[in-house]
Amino acid sequence: MSNPSGRRSANEIDVETVSMSRRFVRANVAISEFLDRTLPLRLRIDGNRTFATEIAPALLTADARVYDLGGGARPFVSLPEKRRLKLFVVGLDLDAVELSKAPRGIYDEEIEADLTSFEGRGDADVVICQATLEHVRDGEGALRGIASCVKPGGMVAIFSPSRNAVFARLNRVLPEGMKRRLLFAIYPEKGKGHDGFPAFYDKCLPSEVEVIAKRNGLELIERRLFWKSSYFYFFVPAFLVWRIWLGFSALLLGKDAAETYAYVFRRKP
């Protein structure tokens, strides 16, 4: 029904504002990605995607017992992949409700537990911990719990943001409600992942992870450092400042300046 007064309703104005904001974000993302393509490839690799499509899948073998730590409603292994490889998948999460939201049949065993105080059975062939380490309050306890799940000779794959990443620094200082509203307003799709959960980044530097893992009997097999995250692409000036800061940080901090990282460890006999 048309508006006889010729004035736009508040709802129409809100819809137009949202539409303009999204066009603004898309334009800035496009420019930022264009500028990014001038950088070396190693600085443009998406760590989370690489972990999910290359690093962790390479560890999955037929009939393996796989622990998914912190996967909850979004397990790492898909149901078709589980059936193809005949995997036994154990899901561990702090929240049983999250586990219950996972695809039916994906978990053969569900464990509601705090990873920071969990004592595993040492029976896993593969342990996968993707984007979970940053959300625990006790990083050392979580790594100890991870190591307790895997059997001698078994493999551990970890992906996490670094505590020194710019977005991690902002995450720690901004009020929880504010940062959630900003994040989901700019990137609505991030509400489908772990991004909305509180993050603490305790013992979340690559150097700290390596030391704690070694202390818990995990032998370093592979380390991958990633220098890309998507948070600042929405506004070109912020993107440029972030990239310049990242370059200087890398000179000063080395591997601890990486935005995200992935590790593969083997449990020592």
What percentage of the chain reaches a pLDDT higher than 90?
78
Look up the pTM and report it: 0.87
Q: What is the pLDDT of residue 62?
A: 98
Q: In what order do the strands lie in the sheet with 65-69?
A: 109-112, 88-93, 65-69, 124-130, 150-161, 260-267, 218-226
* Residues 13-50: tens digit of each pLDDT: 566 676 788 899 899 999 999 999 999 999 999 999 99
* Residues 170-204: tens digit of each pLDDT: 888 876 666 566 666 666 665 555 555 789 999 99
What angle separates helix 139-149 from helix 206-215, to the nearest 10 degrees?
50
Distance between first and last Cα of the chain:
74
* Residues 246-267: tens digit of each pLDDT: 999 999 999 999 999 999 999 9
